[in-house]
Structure 1
Amino acid sequence: MQVFQYINLVEFLRNEYGLSEVKIINKLKANGSREVFHFSSTDGQWIVKILEPERSEEEVQSYTKVLHFLGQLPEQIAPVILQQLGGSLYARFNDRFLYVLEYINGDKVSENPEDEFEIGVLASRLHAVEGYQLESNLRYKDRIQNMLGWFKDKQFYSSYSRCIYNLPDFDNHQQCLIHTDIGPHNAMKKNNGQLIFIDFDDAGIGSKYIDLGYPLICQFVRFHNGQLKFDNRNATAFYRGYQLNQSLSDDEVELTFQGAVFMQLMYMNAYGDNAIEAMWSILEYGVNNKEILKSAIRGS
């Protein structure tokens, strides 16, 4: 963003949000053409997210409505979204949409049993939230249709497609408010020690078991010095935190494992052609060690 665009953004934030003494502090790392800035005003410190030009108004409405809804809860789960002077949750800035969130003054969350346990507790709180109506952008059947068209030239395609066909219909099982990308990378610890989730772009009503299964393979199965390993300690801590107040039944443990398989399948294509074989190896490892992974889901 050039100097004159910085000036335009500052003026825009002043005029549309009624903020005084706006000052851009720095530009934060973001994916693709998205731009994220940390800025200050007399009312506090904020984050402004300027979305990619291809993002539709329907998408930005989805992104911001869930944050506004969560902001009404007695206990904080997400950053507070700032409304414009006219009450809108987002605005058009040049050819893009933007929205403004509170800046979380705190620390990144680490991959250790203590923090993973607290992330699990926070995930259970999110899933217990009632009253939200909008569907998540992670639509199970749409993703399945896309995935069946991938990797037809790969030797593993028959096993890959079998994994897809063996998945349950998650739409027929418990639906709740989901984040879609739960993990330390999307959590912050405030200065008072409280954890909150960040990056709710695809959040909405969806399968509890897809959301809960996400970290099991996608996060906790990784290559270490060329060898695949399951981080049983952190995985067990996360699922213990989730079940602090209510245990998962045997059926729910199985559904959570299948949710993990689905999420790894969905991300198979996410890191480019050179990573596809490695992503398949991670999924194979998870499937071949199913009982070990399910034991972690049980918290044992």
Structure 2
Amino acid sequence: MINLTKVLKNWGFQEVIIENQFHEDSSRQIFSFSVNNQRMLLKGIPDEISENVIKGNVSAHEYLGNQKHIAPDIIYTPDGNCYIHEDGFWFYVMEFVEGRPLEETVEDEYSLGKIARLVHSYTDYQYLSSLDADKKRFYEWFTDKEFKKEFDSILNQLPDFTKYDQCFIHTDLGPHNAMMRLNGQVILIDLDDSGIGSMHLDIGWAFIMQFVEYNRETEEMKYRFDLAMAFLQGYYENEKISRNEYDLIWQGAIFMHISYMKVFGPYAVNPLWNILKYGMCQKDKLWDMLIQQETFI
């Protein structure tokens, strides 16, 4: 049992009130607490994770939060440290964001697109994202599947994303990782894997992973063109999107979806393959819808 009061004394906090624990089924320890009516968030990560990873995590919050003010701030200890090691965990304290999570609505997707564009304008960050942009590992996957030949053919068409625009990326850019403050400002949360990486992978994540709605019971699928359009409108606003840029976003979408195809276990592989194929079929339909907006293409 972790003595949270003892841990938080490293920040000089006295008379701490522990409020809630989040993700209790996780090995990570995440608690909200308050001191003198100020709410904060304590995050503890098992020390099997290397210290370099923790440095990257807190650095991302320092950069996007304390410096750019579009993520929760890191709270420092009295001697200026941004994290500590105690009881087998790395701990750091962040600002608790008062507000609401973004939702899968047109309005919120538009706001998410705008904040994504702002984040992607930052190129001077010192840490690389932990996202592996190399497709080579995927060629070893699914050797027992009937779709293996088609799968490899799809991989062959994916570019080397490291040769295209590199910037600060989140790696899991969806409404579930964004909050709207009480004043209406949108910020990003959960920066654990963020850093410098491929812009097109970051934008592309949602175009299959999120925008394809899949009914597990009926296996029916639906594409949320409204959300995809809203995100792109927020991201590009009145800027023109070239067909080449659009193609790169979709190649990023395919890469990101494939990267998750083994995450949910062997029984999820075939449904995820079907989702991939269905999602790819929506690319030209969405493009045709974008063309109809003359100020957008």
TM-score strictly above 0.5: yes
18 and 296 in structure 1: CA distance in 2 versus 1, 3 angstrom threshold: farther
TM-score calculated relative to the size of structure 2: 0.92
Please, which moves more after superposition, 123-132 or 203-212? 123-132
Instruction: Give aligned-pair identity as a percent.
Output: 36
- Partner SS, residue 168 of structure 2: strand
Is residue 280 of structure 1 aligned with residue 273 of structure 2? yes
124 and 30 in structure 1: CA distance in 2 versus 1, 3 angstrom threshold: farther
What is the one-letter code of the residue matched to 1:133? Q
296 and 98 in structure 1: CA distance in 2 versus 1, 3 angstrom threshold: farther
Partner of 1:11 in structure 2? 6
Q: Distance in 1 between matches of 2:289 and 2:150?
A: 25
Contact 1:179 1:211 in 2 (8 A): yes
Please list every run of at least 4 consecutive aligned residues from structure 1 whose deviation after the TM superposition is greater than 6 angstroms.
Answer: 296-299
Is residue 133 of structure 1 aligned with residue 126 of structure 2? yes
Partner of 1:181 in structure 2? 172
Alignment of 1:1-300 (within 5 A): 2=1, 5=2, 8-14=3-9, 16-29=10-23, 32-42=26-36, 44-74=38-68, 76-141=69-134, 144-224=135-215, 225-244=218-237, 246-295=239-288, 300=293
1:125-184: CA deviations, max 9, x gaps? 11012421211000212xx23322221111111111221121011000010000000111
Pairwise CA distance, 1:86: 2.1
Q: Distance in 1 between matches of 2:173 and 2:25?
A: 18
Pairwise CA distance, 1:38: 0.7
RMSD: 1.8
Pairwise CA distance, 1:32: 3.3
Contact 2:11 2:77 in 1 (8 A): yes
Pairwise CA distance, 1:299: 8.9
Could you list the runs of 5+ residues in structure 2 that have no partner in the other structure? none
Q: Distance in 1 between matches of 2:172 and 2:160?
A: 20
Q: Distance in 2 between matches of 1:247 and 1:18?
A: 51
- Partner SS, residue 51 of structure 1: strand
289 and 89 in structure 1: CA distance in 2 versus 1, 3 angstrom threshold: same
Please, which moves more after superposition, 195-204 or 87-96? 87-96
Please, which moves more after superposition, 189-198 or 287-296? 287-296
Contact 2:123 2:196 in 1 (8 A): no
Q: Distance in 1 between matches of 2:30 and 2:91?
A: 9
What is the one-letter code of the residue matched to 2:181? K
Q: Distance in 1 between matches of 2:230 and 2:187?
A: 18
Could you list the runs of 5+ residues in structure 1 that have no partner in the other structure? none
